[in-house]
Amino acid sequence: MSIIKSPIFIGGSGRSGTSLLFKLIAREDCCYSFNFLETKFIIGVDSLLDLYNSISCDYSTGRAKLAIGRFRKTMNRLKTGGVYKDVGFETLYKESNQYDKIVKRFLLSLQHPNEVAKYLSDQQAIQLFRNFLVDMISNLSVYSENKRFVEKTPHNILHLNFLFNLFPDMKFVHIIRDPRGVAFSLSKQTWGPSNFEDACYWLCHVYDAFLSQANFQSLTSPANFMQVKLEDLAGDQLKKTNRKLRSFLNMETFNLKPDEINEGQINYWQNEITKEQMIKANFVLGKYIAHFNYGM
């Protein structure tokens, strides 16, 4: 069995800097990823997470069969470029048919020969899923046993239990940003809430779900979990943040360059947000602004 050495997972609320931090870490020579893309099949819609619930804790034959079918569709879309137009995941592997072989082998392991979906205990499901992920990751053409796998999906932060069960030795970096800045940026996205007030409430639910996870304290212990402010990747806190990340990730070569990130691009919202929006954000998001140590 190949080794996935202390993988690095990155998460955030969305519009908090996950893509930026992902690129800064994954570009290191000692790291590799799915071509700098979100995997989609671990915690996304119709992913391993949904499959896990359907064949284990929420099992029924019908539910499990549907989940297997949906997961198959997810993997087929990722394979051919149905998710990322310029990149089909099948092109990221050492052999041309490797992707198909790995996915097919995994799907067969979930069903009896008569296509009845298996029930798996918690432990059985996690072990099977872990083996599948090791198979998927270790057969990438960029894989090296001595390098670190890096994955970024913003809402990784909502599924810490699942991810830590899969990779107990993973390092998780949660990147945060002033919630008012997150809400302002969210309201400008075509895929997000349609207005600023809705963005504030949308964000409330994300933060609530994050902070309400079972075993939250143990999951966020300093040995495996680090929280970084986007604002600290620039300006006066850059050197200190760089040292903390380098130490936490155990990555001696990691280095943030002073002119790499523009403070103005992070804090632009402060000059564009209206007085009414600021009052609304402080009212709706006040407890999270305080929780993440941002001033009112």
The reply to whether 97 and 158 lie within a common domain is: no
Q: What is the pLDDT of residue 114?
A: 85
Q: Which of 122, 141, 160 is the last residue of a domain?
A: 141
Number of domains in the chain: 2
Distance CA 290, CA 296 (A): 8
pLDDT band at 2, cuts 50/70/90? confident
Q: What is the pLDDT of residue 12?
A: 98
The reply to whether 164 and 87 lie within a common domain is: no
The CA–CA distances, whole Å, from 144 to 127, 140, 271 equal 22, 9, 45
Q: In sequence order, which residues have a C-beta less than 8 Å from that of residue 182 and are 6 or more positions away?
A: 13, 14, 15, 16, 203
The reply to whether 198 and 101 lie within a common domain is: no
The reply to whether 7 and 101 lie within a common domain is: no
The reply to whether 160 and 239 lie within a common domain is: yes
Range of the domain at 107: 37-141
Residues 216-225: tens digit of each pLDDT: 999 999 999 9
Q: What is the pLDDT of residue 142?
A: 97
The reply to whether 132 and 208 lie within a common domain is: no
Residues 76-112: tens digit of each pLDDT: 999 998 999 889 999 999 998 999 999 999 999 999 9
Q: Which of 141, 161, 190 is the last residue of a domain?
A: 141
Distance CA 8, CA 1 (A): 20
Q: In sequence order, which residues have a C-beta less than 8 Å from that of residue 168 and are 6 or more positions away?
A: none
The reply to whether 238 and 259 lie within a common domain is: yes
Q: Which of 121, 141, 161 is the last residue of a domain?
A: 141
The reply to whether 64 and 207 lie within a common domain is: no
Say whether pLDDT at 259 is over 80: yes
